[in-house]
Structure 1
Amino acid sequence: MYDSPSSKHHELFIIGAGASGLMAAVTARDLGIDVGIVESNDRVGKKVLTTGNGRCNITNQSTLAGTDEAAALSQKYHSSQAEFPLPVLKQFGVRQTVEFFNALGLPLVAIENGRMYPMSLQAASVLEIFRIALEDRDVPIYFKTKVSDVKVSTGHPRFTIVCQTEAEGQVVYTSDYLFLCTGGLTAPKTGTDGSGYTLAQRLGHTLIHPVPGIVQLKLDYPYLKELSGVKFEGLGHIVVGGECIRSEYGEILFTDYGASGPPILQLSRKAAYRLAKGDKVVLSLELMPDRTEEEVVDFLDTHWGMFGHRTVAASFIGILNKKLIPVLLKEAGIDQEPNLLCQDLSWKTKKILYRLMKQWDFPVLDTNGFANAQTTAGGIDTTELKAGTLESKLVPGLYLCGEVMDVDGDCGGYNLQWAWSSGYAAAMALADRLTGAE
């Protein structure tokens, strides 16, 4: 199946055998389209193996609870065109994803927070099922084949795909239609090196500056090594110019370079883009997110009143992570008074401690890089694509799928959902075009 046949022309060539490319290939073949796949790696879906901590978080069923699934789902995505994902998600949402994988023989289960995985809880199962599906459909994959250039003509065939292979050197493939499913810049060890951006730009498309998404934050704070390893349930805010631009709740983890954990990963996109603009970004943390400022004051005053004979440090034991307490006292300026009793706290120091419970600010230096990120924010400008079909407005017959375009989702299975949805929508649009039903 995987040896290069003598014929190197297909009605449709798909560049990239990642999640969106695999979905597009299976869907297109089922719709009667002659399709071949070009893949630079020696196997399909290497990046898929890294998702969901090796379990593959295929999608998220949380948005099924509402009356308008597609609208709720679209709120999980980000793009310079906020409305762009909606018509794609209307065609192929969470329900259709579950049905699709069931039809391939891969039942899904929901584990936590609506996140859905293969029942085996193994990402390798997803790739094996796709491999079987492609074999059943006689879809050829040209492995270890790196596309170096794409040329477009007005005649037949429309696309000439120039490739470099290990075995044959330069080879040239041709097709009438082309899907660009090359991914973004995340997990470069899996082959997502941004080459799809270069190809699209050579064909006239515009690149919106890509930044790491769903990634850890680097903080400018002198006591990070002391905080490293501390976990707590808190509320995080990204603040720029005194304005909160996004908030997330959950388990926050301090590291020796900054902060991680689900809320931090969700906040990182906003931080990355504002840092790229040169803005000063602050991560503001609430240690007691379930209490208002007034309730924090009442709680601490009552606590200190009952245990006035204890040291301030001892008064926080059982309330905060023990490693957090000495750093909190440093921040409040009382670390040089280890024997300070609660009954001797000044009003000024109390106010500082009240504030730190609700607003402990950490300047953000940067994010970790693409090697640590789960998705790429930014990509090919969606204003240059047709809404719902994902066909290029600049190059007829060229379609973009997945992470290569300026659409990225929140953490929790939404980026793979976009891969499935966009691969399906592009294949359906091409089938409609070929049958005259467009």
Structure 2
Amino acid sequence: MYEDQNSKHHELLIIGAGAAGMMAALTARDQGIDTAIIESNDRMGKKILTTGNGRCNITNESTATGTDEAVALSHKYHSNQAGFPLPVLQQFGVRQTIDFFSSLGLPLIPLEDGRMYPMSLQAASVPGVFRLALEDRNVPIYFKNKVLDVIVSTEHPRFTIKCQMETEEQVVYTSEYLFLCAGGLTAPKTGTDGSGYTLVQRLGHTLIDPVPGIVQLKLDYPHLKELSGIKFEGHAHIIVNNEVIRTEYGEILFTDYGISGPPILQLSRKAAYNLGRGESVTLSVELMPGRTEEEIVEFLETHWGIFGHRTVADSLIGIINKKLIPVLLKEAGIDQQLHLLCQDLSWKTKKIFYRIMKHWEFKVTDTNSFTNAQTTAGGIDTTELIEGTLESKLVPGLYLAGEVMDVDGDCGGYNLQWAWSSGYAAAMALADRRNGKDGC
């Protein structure tokens, strides 16, 4: 089924057998559309295998409550056109996703923070059930086909897709409709190498500069090697032009290049775009979360008053991670005075400790690369797509789905949810168009 190159014309061709492409193909075929997929890899869903630490975080049920669940879900997404994701999510949200995978024989289970995973806790289960479902529906997948060019005609067939096979032999496919689901720039080894952007740009679309999203941050700080490996729970804030623009809470991890952990990953998009604009970006972390500055001062003054006979280093044991203490002593300028007693602390030095506990600031210099990122922020400009249908305003019959467009979600299953939702919405829009239900 998958290696047959004889049947080269289909009503709908989908470029990319990732999450969005598989969903679009299955939905379109169920609507009676002659559908095939073109994929550069030797198997489908290759990037999915790397998600969720090998477990695949399919979606997140934390927003699936109440009557405005689509609105709540839409707040987890980012785009230059803020309201763009909502009409898509209203068609296919979290509840529909859970029911859909159940219908494929893949029940989902919730783990931490509402994150939903396959019951098997194996990412391979996801492309596995899609493969079975597509085989059941006789949907061809043309593997090892690298798309070189897309040509649009005013006659039939409307789209001509030129590909090169692994053998370097070139082959041509034609279709009346085309879905581009080629992904962004994350995990290039799995095929999401940005080539989809090039194809759509050649057709006249605009690319909003992509940056790594859900990624670690690089810091300019002289003691990173000493901090590397230290974990703690706390708040993290991204600060631009002396204004906190986003705050997240959770486990924070120092590394030899900078900082990581779920809160940092959530903040990385803001950091990346502001750095790209040439802004000065600062990260602030709290070592004593949940306390005001006044409460921190009162706590430490009382603590040092009781244990004034102890050294400053010993007084901090049990309050913060022990490995942080030598670095904090350096920050306070007393690292050469290891036997300094709490009762001998100057007010100036105390104020340094108070500041660090509430607002320990670091200069952000960059993010890690797309290879380390979980998603791509940026992509094809959504103002050039029809809201709700994802059809191109510039090239009738061309639809986009998934990461290739300028929509990205927070960490926690939201980016895969966008893939399922956008793939479904595009396929249903095409089905409505064919059935004369789109008002045309």
User: Is the TM-score greater than 0.5?
Assistant: yes
Question: Where in structure 2 are the equivalents of 1:397-408 lying within 5 Å?
Answer: 397-408=397-408
**SS in structure 2 at match of 1:237:** strand
**SS in structure 1 at match of 2:372:** coil
- Alpha-carbon offset, residue 412 of structure 1: 0.2
- Using the size of structure 2 for normalisation, the TM-score is 0.99
1:235 maps to 2:235: yes
What stretches of structure 1 of length at least 5 have no aligned partner?
none
**SS in structure 2 at match of 1:65:** coil
2:357 aligned partner = 357
1:171 aligned partner = 171
The residue type equivalent to 1:237 in the other structure is: H
Question: Where in structure 2 are the equivalents of 1:6-405 lying within 5 Å?
Answer: 6-167=6-167, 169-405=169-405
Identity %: 79
- Alpha-carbon offset, residue 335 of structure 1: 1.0
Contact 1:216 1:265 in 2 (8 A): yes
Equivalents in 2 of 1:356, 1:19: separation in Å?
A: 44
The residue type equivalent to 1:15 in the other structure is: I
- Alpha-carbon offset, residue 168 of structure 1: 6.2
The residue type equivalent to 2:337 in the other structure is: E
**SS in structure 2 at match of 1:370:** coil
**SS in structure 2 at match of 1:13:** strand
Quick one: structure 1 residues 307 and 430, their matched pair in 2 at CA, closer, same or farther if it must change by over 3 Å? Answer: same
Quick one: structure 1 residues 160 and 264, their matched pair in 2 at CA, closer, same or farther if it must change by over 3 Å? Answer: same
Contact 1:377 1:407 in 2 (8 A): yes
- Alpha-carbon offset, residue 199 of structure 1: 0.3
The residue type equivalent to 2:17 in the other structure is: A
Quick one: structure 1 residues 8 and 239, their matched pair in 2 at CA, closer, same or farther if it must change by over 3 Å? Answer: same
Q: Which runs of 4+ in 1 moved over 3 A?
A: none
Contact 1:217 1:268 in 2 (8 A): yes
- Alpha-carbon offset, residue 278 of structure 1: 1.0
Equivalents in 2 of 1:49, 1:309: separation in Å?
A: 56
Equivalents in 2 of 1:157, 1:305: separation in Å?
A: 83
The residue type equivalent to 2:175 in the other structure is: S
Contact 2:5 2:142 in 1 (8 A): no
Equivalents in 2 of 1:315, 1:421: separation in Å?
A: 53
Stretch deviating more after TM superposition (290-299 or 176-185)? 290-299
The residue type equivalent to 1:407 in the other structure is: V
Contact 1:66 1:72 in 2 (8 A): no
- Alpha-carbon offset, residue 332 of structure 1: 1.1
Equivalents in 2 of 1:213, 1:346: separation in Å?
A: 43
- Alpha-carbon offset, residue 210 of structure 1: 0.2
Stretch deviating more after TM superposition (160-169 or 325-334)? 160-169
**SS in structure 1 at match of 2:64:** helix
Q: Number of aligned pairs?
A: 438
**SS in structure 1 at match of 2:183:** coil
- Alpha-carbon offset, residue 2 of structure 1: 0.6
1:188-234 CA-to-partner distances (Å, cap 9, x unmatched) read 11011100000000000000000000000000000000000000001
Contact 1:218 1:258 in 2 (8 A): yes
Equivalents in 1 of 2:283, 2:65: separation in Å?
A: 32
Equivalents in 1 of 2:270, 2:330: separation in Å?
A: 29
Equivalents in 2 of 1:317, 1:166: separation in Å?
A: 60
Equivalents in 2 of 1:346, 1:170: separation in Å?
A: 76
1:345-397 CA-to-partner distances (Å, cap 9, x unmatched) read 11111111111100000001100000000000000000000000000000000
Stretch deviating more after TM superposition (344-353 or 46-55)? 344-353
- Alpha-carbon offset, residue 65 of structure 1: 2.7
Stretch deviating more after TM superposition (343-352 or 209-218)? 343-352
**SS in structure 1 at match of 2:2:** coil
What stretches of structure 2 of length at least 5 have no aligned partner?
none
